[in-house]
Structure 1
Amino acid sequence: MTNQLWKTAAASLLAVAVLSGCASGTPGALQPSASPEAEQPSASPGNKAEEKDSQVTPDRFAEMFLQGKYGQIYKQFSKEFKQQVSDSEFQALAADFNQGVSAYKLLSELPMDNNVRYTWASEDGSKGMTAVINPSGTILGLQIVPLETFPETDGKYTSGKYLYPFSGEWFTYWGGTNVLVNYHYAYPGQRYAFDWVILKDGQSYEGDPTKNESYFAFGQPVLAPADGKIIKVVNDLDDNAPVGKMDPANPAGNHVVIEHANGEYSMLAHFRKQSVQVQVGDEVKAGDLLGLCGNSGNSSEPHIHYHVSDSPDLDQGNSVRIQFIDDGDVTQGDYIRGSQSE
């Protein structure tokens, strides 16, 4: 149940080049410009218009990529990125990747500290790309990958309807039906899982990022998503400290499994140590308090992990796409307000 949040997600951009250092700025102040390495045109009105037209802004990236404007895109790569791949290598990779693609659709915008991670997929869902862009418009990383899909299960939802397992507003960090927006998708047992954090001004914490208490999600209530019976509880594992240290030997950390009457099983993971309020055998109602959000298990920062399976043996079961009570189709980048919030 590896949860690759902020820094680990950035480090995974390896398909074209390794993502390097991040620049300062705020996610809300994304004002792209030509890269420092680009030749600076004169200040005449005509050249200004040409410069503006040549800029690779986030809203134009996919269109320009598909149009083959690889040289313009390459100019805005960071110096570190360019050290990993040459202009000619990038152009050959990109041209080959674009074969058979008629359009790219933006799937998500993900704040990553002071940068933004954009993800697109081809119309048929067979190819995807992710770019990390800093506030000045420099492209820090680019990943282009073929996407495997599972239409036979993507179109099937749980027979029961479920609440979001929290109150208030949370941000969907992982969720959706391809590996670029939901790394769980590669694993049948967690394919349709979600990871949620709380963001304020594009950040999941305030203060010392090594302390669990700095994270807005830490200690927040985790609620039962539907009526059912508690069939498994783990409650005595430490929260990872400092934040960033992980416990792969206990992937789910402190967790709760709920058996529902429809033969479906909810798994909620990474609770705070000794915060779980239910015991095996308890009957719960939708919205009941289960415990508090923590950072136990194979987790890189405090968050809620939730998925539904067709089996109580969650290592062997198959994840089922969740039908939420509000009929929401949730994917990475979505802000979700819990059904129990006022």
Structure 2
Amino acid sequence: MQPEQLDQLILSGDCEMIYNQTSELFQNQIALSELQDVICSFSEGTQQCFLQAITPIGDSKEYTWIDDTGTKGIMALFDSENIITALQLLPLQPFPETDQQWTKNEFILPMRDEWFTFWGGNNELINYHYPYASQRYAFDFVIMEENRTYAGHPNDNEHYFAFGKEVVAPAAGTIVKIENNIIDNKPGEMNEENPSGNYIVIDHGHNEYSIIVHFKQHSLTVTEGDYVKQGEVVGLCGNSGHSSEAHIHFQVSDSPILDDGRSIRIRFKDGREPRRGDFVQQSLS
């Protein structure tokens, strides 16, 4: 079985073929009969599934699918030999009303060079923010090279490709809130007291606010009241706040306060919408 065939095998109920391609640890935890029950329940009434993303996770690859109603999902982790080491079949909650509401402003990505979309998309499997109205259409971006986000020792921020990279304004507007003094975390640890870490909020008009968080400490080049142009450097990527490694969290909300607002689906200038597993690069066209 090739990984891309898994959804069809699940829908056809070919449990033994699937089970025979799972790892020993997986089989020690789940019996064939248990897997059969789960697959039978999942496939009932399901006509078709669609591949959403293929995401490198170290030496493994994560495959995700959703069904044609958007209410069921599959996540499978395959190792380098295409052995299944993890498998989830789960219900999904779609939000079709807000999925159709886009920003009035047009945006570019808030970074230069090529980045990797770690979280992004319109279901929980490819975007863990999605169930929460305040962050539903947020993105998390890292820099990925040869399936790794760092080179060297994983406990050193400086060894992460994204750390210290320039972050730019995704659209023109006025800086209305900043934080610049939160220390960067040691990789693998998080600051639960200050989850946003260092951040900026930009007012773009139309009741739309860019919220970009996890900047490097003392790296912001703007202050409250400044007007910024689209593409202008505003700071450096860091690892502050609720962050286990250097990355950019970017969203547009209808409030300058992250937890009080509602995340809005972002209309990008180039017409693309990043999803988990996508390599993306800023476009000014």
Q: Which category describes the TM-score, using the shorter chain as reference length?
A: over 0.9
Q: Is the 8 A contact 1:118 1:130 kept in 2?
A: yes
The reply on whether 1:75 has 2:20 as its aligned counterpart is yes
Secondary structure at the aligned position of 2:199 is classed as: strand
Q: Is the 8 A contact 1:132 1:142 kept in 2?
A: yes
- Name 1:151's counterpart in structure 2: 96
The reply on whether 1:314 has 2:258 as its aligned counterpart is yes
| TM-score normalized by the length of structure 2 | 0.98
1:197 shift after superposition: 0.6
Distance (whole Å) between structure 1 residues aligned to residue 262 and residue 11 of structure 2: 36
The reply on whether 1:209 has 2:154 as its aligned counterpart is yes
Pairs aligned (count): 285
Secondary structure at the aligned position of 2:104 is classed as: strand
Distance (whole Å) between structure 2 residues aligned to residue 258 and residue 111 of structure 1: 33
Of the three residues 208, 231, 243, the one matched with 1:264 is 208
Letter of the structure 2 residue corresponding to residue 102 of structure 1: Q
Q: Is the 8 A contact 1:218 1:302 kept in 2?
A: yes
- Name 1:274's counterpart in structure 2: 218
Q: What do the CA deviations read for 1:41-79 (whole angstroms, capped 9, x no partner)?
A: xxxxxxxxxxxxxxx211211111111111111111111
Of the three residues 208, 218, 226, the one matched with 2:171 is 226
Q: Is the 8 A contact 2:129 2:135 kept in 1?
A: yes
Letter of the structure 1 residue corresponding to residue 189 of structure 2: K
- Name 1:32's counterpart in structure 2: none
Distance (whole Å) between structure 1 residues aligned to residue 283 and residue 111 of structure 2: 8
Distance (whole Å) between structure 2 residues aligned to residue 93 and residue 66 of structure 1: 11
Letter of the structure 2 residue corresponding to residue 260 of structure 1: H
Of the three residues 62, 66, 74, the one matched with 1:121 is 66
Q: Is the 8 A contact 1:166 1:340 kept in 2?
A: no
Question: Are the structure 2 counterparts of residues 209 and 340 from structure 1 closer, same or farther at C-alpha, using a change threshold of 3 Å?
Answer: farther
1:313 shift after superposition: 2.3
| TM-score normalized by the length of structure 1 | 0.82
- Name 2:117's counterpart in structure 1: 172
Q: Is the 8 A contact 1:167 1:340 kept in 2?
A: no
Secondary structure at the aligned position of 1:323 is classed as: coil
- Name 2:8's counterpart in structure 1: 63
- Name 2:128's counterpart in structure 1: 183
Q: What do the CA deviations read for 1:100-137 (whole angstroms, capped 9, x no partner)?
A: 11111100001001100000000121100100000112
- Percent of aligned pairs with the same amino acid: 45
1:329 shift after superposition: 2.0
Distance (whole Å) between structure 2 residues aligned to residue 114 and residue 86 of structure 1: 26
Letter of the structure 2 residue corresponding to residue 282 of structure 1: D
Of the three residues 268, 292, 314, the one matched with 2:236 is 292
Matches within 5 A, 1:317-336: 317-336=261-280
- Aligned-pair RMSD on alpha carbons? 1.1
Q: Is the 8 A contact 1:254 1:272 kept in 2?
A: yes
Q: What do the CA deviations read for 1:196-241 (whole angstroms, capped 9, x no partner)?
A: 0111111111111111111110000000001111011101111111
Distance (whole Å) between structure 1 residues aligned to residue 28 and residue 195 of structure 2: 36
Distance (whole Å) between structure 2 residues aligned to residue 164 and residue 323 of structure 1: 11
Secondary structure at the aligned position of 2:170 is classed as: coil
- Name 1:283's counterpart in structure 2: 227
Secondary structure at the aligned position of 1:190 is classed as: coil
Letter of the structure 2 residue corresponding to residue 82 of structure 1: Q
1:340 shift after superposition: 5.4
Letter of the structure 2 residue corresponding to residue 212 of structure 1: N
Distance (whole Å) between structure 2 residues aligned to residue 313 and residue 211 of structure 1: 31
Letter of the structure 2 residue corresponding to residue 164 of structure 1: L
Matches within 5 A, 1:23-102: 56-102=1-47
Letter of the structure 2 residue corresponding to residue 210 of structure 1: N
Letter of the structure 1 residue corresponding to residue 220 of structure 2: V
Q: Is the 8 A contact 1:253 1:270 kept in 2?
A: yes
Structure possessing the higher radius of gyration over alpha carbons: 1
Distance (whole Å) between structure 2 residues aligned to residue 65 and residue 130 of structure 1: 12
Q: What do the CA deviations read for 1:282-311 (whole angstroms, capped 9, x no partner)?
A: 011101111000000010110000000011
